[in-house]
Homo-oligomer: A and B are copies of this chain.
Amino acid sequence: MVSSNYGNVQSVPDRDSARPGAAVSRPLSEIKADLFKALAHPARIRALEVLSSGECSVGELQPLVGIELSHLSQQLGVLRRAGLVSSRKEGASVLYSIRDDDVIELLRVAKGLLIKSLAETTGLLSDLRASQ
């Protein structure tokens, strides 16, 4: 890529420009895209869904999310850098939690959209109601 300067504003050379709240002058569309990018992985979605019912350590998360531990840690890092979760230490373990309930709301809206969409294209409303 030579120079795809997304948006109108010229950007200051700034590090850490993936965190929301980092760069001030970055096109909003790019910041939004980064948010969605952070959500664009099944394991991260599952982690958030587990966390949406409360704080949880990495070790507790692991069997529920179903990926290897170090991989999980990395994915949690992605979520943390994106500002979606925060972590605190308690003894030897690290507890993760959702940072803002709007994240849960976002997942809820997404699910609604998906369910509507699935219902339209295939005819399996019943399946959806049955599964969750």
Residues of chain B lying within 8 A (CB to CB) of residue A124? 24
A21 contact set on B, CB distance < 8 A: 117-118, 120-122
**Contact of A30 with B by CB under 8 A:** yes
By the criterion CB–CB under 8 Å, are A103 and B113 in contact? Answer: yes
What secondary structure prevails in chain A residues at the interface with B?
Answer: helix
User: With A and B bound together, what is the CA distance between A99 and B113 in angstroms?
Assistant: 10
Q: Which of B43, B46, B117 contacts A83 (CB 8 A)?
A: B117
Least CB distance from A24 to B in Å reads 7
Q: Does A114 contact B (CB under 8 A)?
A: yes
Closest beta carbon of chain B to A98's beta carbon, Å: 11
Q: Which residue of B lies closest to A123 (CB)?
A: B21
A6 CB contact (under 8 Å) in B33, B43, B105 = B43
In the complex, A116 has a CB within 8 A of chain B: yes
> Quick one: which of A9-31 are within 8 Å of B by CB?
19-22, 24, 27-31
- Confirm or deny: A88 has a beta carbon within 8 angstroms of a beta carbon on chain B: no
Partner of A20 from the list B49, B66, B83, B114 (CB cut-off 8 Å) is B114
Could you tell me if A100 and B116 are in contact, using CB atoms closer than 8 angstroms?
yes
Residue pairs across A and B with Cβ atoms less than 8 A apart, 8 shown, are: A21-B120, A22-B121, A24-B124, A27-B42, A29-B43, A32-B42, A33-B40, A100-B117
